[in-house]
Amino acid sequence: MGKSKILLDLICIKTGLLIKNKNDCKKISELISDKKLGYLSESTLYRFFLHPNNNYKPYKNTLHILAKFCDFGSWEEFQYYCNTNELHKNVNFLTVTLRKIINQFIVDENFDGLIIIFKSIENESYKTKEFVGLIVLKAFQDVMTFDKFVKEYGSNLFVRKILIESLFDPKYRISNYINALQNYLINTSVNSKDYLQDIVFANTVLFRYYYLNQDLEYLNIGKLLYNSKLIESEINSIHLFPKSRFYAYKIWFLNSLKIKQRQKVLQYKELINWFINQIEKATTIIDLNIIYQTIVEVLDNLDLEDVQKKITSIYLNKLKKIESNFEEYERYHNANGIMNFNEF
């Protein structure tokens, strides 16, 4: 890798700015001046970093100022950094490089390249996969191709388990996110051992989106979810996350139906009791928060204040009993995967 490319990455780490055009060069020029390191003009920086003429040879003073800006004592010190294994120990540098590679794959729609990255870490820890997944989702925020990617690779385990399920975003901030979820459903195989869990997960997430956006499509999804004998008979066999959504959103569904008030109240009570029982049985903070946050959103939406207060009281009492690690509580305060990360 050329030293100018290494400098580009180090400047990005330092400033958060990836130099792509003359305006970016102007900003860096101003930052260098502010630090009183000397003066490098916008055009000098453009010629050094972006000009297609590879024969450009900068003055030694230009190199010295850039090295100082990146917190090296001199250009010679920076060269030593590049020519030894110190560069390979720099975690920030490697992270920026990975972000740039992933971002370029997504911009170029080189989805095969992403899949190769996913395959390379398939035996790594969940935390490693989560880290890469966050970088990928952040990059997809700047384009309109997430649904296209999921349509093509929605059967890939990393795409399904990390990008769609573990890092689900309840704020739907990625363009075409709903289309991507529908493509996830299209790629759900009836022969998969997780078939029921996956269709409940995706359909409850879609139900929530349409309900909160007052789109009547939620009624069609509600009929699919709550009139299915298969789902009803097997619902207790699936993961707590989609199961909690299934039961919580049933309250929204019932609220929309024209049925007798007494019948509604009885079903509400049965569903609320399910959540109370689950809170009391929870043994971890993450499970507790999945249950609580899912039902509280529904109760708050329907202005069921008394029931919400009761649930909250039970939740807080349970939290005191199992809160053995404050750090764990902070990490899992929000049950929705991507909402755990403030930087997203």
Q: What is the pLDDT of residues 137-165, one digit of tens each?
A: 999 998 999 999 999 999 999 999 999 99
pLDDT band at 58 (very low <50, low <70, confident <90, very high): confident
Q: Tell me the torsion sign for CA atoms 303, 306, 311, 312.
A: positive
Q: pTM for this structure?
A: 0.75
Picking from 109, 169, 108, 172, the residue whose alpha carbon sits closest to that of residue 133 is 169
Q: Which of 10-24, 32-46, 115-129 has the lowest mean pLDDT?
A: 10-24
Dist CA 116 CA 252 (whole Å): 41
Dist CA 159 CA 163 (whole Å): 5
pLDDT band at 341 (very low <50, low <70, confident <90, very high): low
The structure tokens listed for 264 are: 């509604």
How many C-beta atoms lie closer than 10 Å to residue 237's C-beta?
9
Q: Please give the pLDDT value at position 340.
A: 62
The structure tokens listed for 15 are: 């400033």
Q: How far is CA 258 from each of CA 36, 133, 233, 253, rounded to the nearest angstrom?
A: 72, 43, 25, 10
The structure tokens listed for 226 are: 């709550």
The CATH T-level fold of domain 3-89 is 434 Repressor (Amino-terminal Domain) (1.10.260)
Q: What burial class does residue 184 get, using C-beta atoms within 10 Å of its C-beta: 0-12 exposed, 13-18 middle, 19+ buried?
A: buried
The structure tokens listed for 192 are: 């998969």
The structure tokens listed for 287 are: 């499970």
Q: How far is CA 113 from each of CA 87, 103, 110, 152, rounded to the nearest angstrom?
A: 24, 11, 6, 13
Q: What is the pLDDT of residues 305-338, one digit of tens each?
A: 999 999 999 999 998 887 655 444 444 445 666 6
Q: Tell me the torsion sign for CA atoms 56, 59, 62, 67.
A: positive
Percent of the chain's residues with pLDDT above 70 = 92
Q: What is the CA radius of gyration of the chain?
A: 26
